[in-house]
A and B are shown apart, each in its own frame.
Chain A
Amino acid sequence: MSCPDRDELMRWLDGELPEGRRTELEAHLGSCAKCRSLIESQKLIEKVWRDSWQDPDDTAFEMMRRGILSRPPWWKRQRTWFAVAAVFSVYFGVRVFFLDGSGTPMARYAEEATPTVTVTGGRPPAEDSSVEEAEEPEMLLEEETVVEQAAMDEDSPSPEPVEEAVFEEEILSPATVTFSAAEAEGTGDELLEVSGLAGLTGGAASSPDDETEEQGYFSTESVSSSAGVGAADASIGYGGGGSVQVSRALEESQDCLNQSESDEIRSVVMDCAASPPAGPSYLVTAVFPDGTSDTLLREEWIDLFAMLDSIWTGEDITLELDASLTEDTLYLRCLIEVTGY
């Protein structure tokens, strides 16, 4: 019998040869030193590799097991992500502006947006007033906004410090104002638009607990990262590719939503829109992760935040949402605390 091929020898070594062929091959091995040598060296290689194994200490497994079991169930993590998705949808997409005469936002709003403007103000072009008269209230208005912003930052610092520099630069450079808005019903001739709320809001935070960072599925890193992306993008505002980046950043969160959760948030938004409170107000448009948007009165958004707060406050996750209104500005702040993981 000539020497079998190597594949067959290895199958014999593994005990995978059919009975008849195995007998033949074993007879050959009894008389062929070359094949025996091949088999023996292969067995030795595999044996030393197998025997070189040493199990880690049991405490390491114990720690790993605890880490696995301490993680929240999948549905709770989905809910967490949903909260983040919902918050950041608002966080990224909010614009505040007055209604024009027909009750709809001005179309040129989006067309004239530039990547860096965060807050602008001014009187409507239609107003019959001089440039000097227009500049003073505009600057005052912006200064008030800066003061408010500073107060907000004390409580919840922006995840993107650069934002402040951009913000101030724009404030000091009225020439860069590009947004405009129409007159709000019943609120005089002041104009204000706000986009990219990173400069106006706090960021997201989570527990600084080391164990949380190490073992928690919903880690500090992931929360901060979401906030960071959002903040960076919000600084770009509505112009250019900003909203595209926002959509991309939110895609992962959107993946975590199940249909009923999506429907839940959508129905709340729709309910609010169906019965708007009386009286003049700002319109706030939220762009959702799937690219659709809803426009609500600012009071409705506050109600919505209160609802979200009640849903996503539990022993493990605290979602603190805060919306405060001044005469002409809506401030939003979100704080997400993840504990106990």
Chain B
Amino acid sequence: MLFHLVYLMTAVALEEPELLRRAVQGDREAFGEIVRLYEKRVFRVARRMCRCDDDAWDITQDAFMKAMNAMPSFNTDYRFFTWMYRIVTNTAINHSRSSARRGEVEFQESWGSEGQTALADTTVQEMESGLLVEAVKKAVEKLSPALRSVFVLRVDQELSYEEISEILGIAVGTVMSRLNRARASVRTAVAAELGGEP
């Protein structure tokens, strides 16, 4: 797994500049290679940002289509992955908002700010069970798109505050405050789900 990841990252580092240069000039084959290099990461972000696989595929495809259409104007001095993350998170956020307008998503902003020492009484056995996984998934799904995007980029993609700031176009301080609110919300929701003390 680790070897595969290192190999992939190395391949990306070596191939990307040339592929990008060709893709910017309209080379579809090159863009296809770029899609291949990034599709799993992009899909993962999309899936973490929405509620079902179908939506995630739509968001991923839509994001790559937007990237393909905008490739002629892409500045190769910038990092492609930052740009791609921005496209997919924006696409996912817009998707969530439109779903919310249709009444498909429930947001629980009130869960946000006052999370306490959640899970204090939750046993290790409970935590290791599937119950915890499901509880966390549900808790993340209930985050607002703005909080979820920060949570996903930090916790799942393990990006730095600076990178998240660049991707979402917000200040680092805003990244930190949103991340703290998101974490507090998740802890509180998980504790409520598992019967622990918030």
Q: Which A residues contact B (CB, under 8 angstroms)?
A: 6-7, 10-11, 14, 16, 34, 37-38, 41-42, 44-46, 48-50, 52-53, 55-56, 60-61, 64-65, 67-69, 71, 73-74, 217
**CB atoms of A56 and B53 under 8 A apart:** yes
- B36: which A residues are within 8 A, CB to CB? 61, 65
Within 8 A of A (CB), among B29-82: 31-32, 35-36, 39-40, 43-44, 53, 57, 60-61, 64-65, 68-69
Q: Counting CB contacts under 8 A, is B142 at the interface?
A: no
Given A48-B127, A53-B156, A61-B43: A37 and B136 interface contact (C-beta under 8 Å): no
Looking across the interface, which residue of chain A has its beta carbon closest to that of B31?
Answer: A69
**CB atoms of A11 and B176 under 8 A apart:** yes
Stretch in B12-20, B88-96, B181-189 touching the partner: B181-189
Looking across the interface, which residue of chain B has its beta carbon closest to that of A60?
Answer: B57
**CB atoms of A65 and B32 under 8 A apart:** yes
| Distance from A64 Cβ to chain B, minimum over Cβ atoms (Å) | 6
**CB atoms of B137 and A49 under 8 A apart:** yes
- A45: which B residues are within 8 A, CB to CB? 119, 132, 136, 186-187, 190
Within 8 A of A (CB), among B168-198: 176, 179-180, 183-184, 186-187, 190
- B137: which A residues are within 8 A, CB to CB? 49, 52
- SS of B interface (majority): helix
21 contacts between A and B (CB under 8 A): A7-B176, A7-B180, A10-B183, A16-B161, A16-B176, A34-B117, A41-B117, A41-B119, A45-B136, A46-B155, A49-B140, A55-B43, A60-B57, A64-B60, A64-B64, A65-B35, A67-B61, A68-B32, A69-B28, A71-B65, A74-B69
**CB atoms of A217 and B65 under 8 A apart:** yes
Q: Complex formed: what's the CA distance from A53 to B157 in Å?
A: 12
| Distance from B145 Cβ to chain A, minimum over Cβ atoms (Å) | 18
- A38: which B residues are within 8 A, CB to CB? 117
**Among A11, A61, A217, contact of B40 (Cβ-Cβ < 8 Å):** A61
Looking across the interface, which residue of chain B has its beta carbon closest to that of A65?
Answer: B35
Residue total for B at the interface (Cβ-Cβ under 8 A): 44
| Distance from A201 Cβ to chain B, minimum over Cβ atoms (Å) | 33
- B61: which A residues are within 8 A, CB to CB? 64, 67-68
**CB atoms of A49 and B133 under 8 A apart:** yes
Q: Counting CB contacts under 8 A, is B122 at the interface?
A: yes
Q: Complex formed: what's the CA distance from A217 to B36 in Å?
A: 20
| Distance from A222 Cβ to chain B, minimum over Cβ atoms (Å) | 14
| Distance from A261 Cβ to chain B, minimum over Cβ atoms (Å) | 17
Q: Complex formed: what's the CA distance from A67 to B118 in Å?
A: 44
Q: Complex formed: what's the CA distance from A55 to B26 in Å?
A: 30
Looking across the interface, which residue of chain B has its beta carbon closest to that of A51?
Answer: B133
| Distance from B152 Cβ to chain A, minimum over Cβ atoms (Å) | 10
* 8 closest cross-chain pairs (CB), A and B: A41-B119, A49-B136, A74-B69, A52-B133, A46-B155, A61-B39, A7-B180, A69-B32
- A50: which B residues are within 8 A, CB to CB? 155-156
**Among A10, A46, A68, contact of B68 (Cβ-Cβ < 8 Å):** A68
- A52: which B residues are within 8 A, CB to CB? 133, 136-137
- A60: which B residues are within 8 A, CB to CB? 57
- A68: which B residues are within 8 A, CB to CB? 32, 35, 61, 64-65, 68
- B115: which A residues are within 8 A, CB to CB? 6
- B155: which A residues are within 8 A, CB to CB? 46, 49-50
**CB atoms of A44 and B127 under 8 A apart:** yes
| Distance from A37 Cβ to chain B, minimum over Cβ atoms (Å) | 7
**CB atoms of A53 and B190 under 8 A apart:** no
Given A16-B160, A68-B68: A41 and B118 interface contact (C-beta under 8 Å): yes
Q: Complex formed: what's the CA distance from A42 to B117 in Å?
A: 9
- A34: which B residues are within 8 A, CB to CB? 117
Q: Complex formed: what's the CA distance from A56 to B65 in Å?
A: 20
| Distance from B115 Cβ to chain A, minimum over Cβ atoms (Å) | 8
- B43: which A residues are within 8 A, CB to CB? 55-56, 61
**CB atoms of A6 and B180 under 8 A apart:** yes
Looking across the interface, which residue of chain B has its beta carbon closest to that of A52?
Answer: B133
**CB atoms of A14 and B35 under 8 A apart:** no
- A14: which B residues are within 8 A, CB to CB? 154, 161, 179
Looking across the interface, which residue of chain A has its beta carbon closest to that of B63?
Answer: A68
Q: Counting CB contacts under 8 A, is B120 at the interface?
A: yes
- B68: which A residues are within 8 A, CB to CB? 68
- For B31, B119, B186, the residue with the greatest tally of chain A CB atoms inside 10 Å of its CB is B119
Looking across the interface, which residue of chain B has its beta carbon closest to that of A45?
Answer: B136
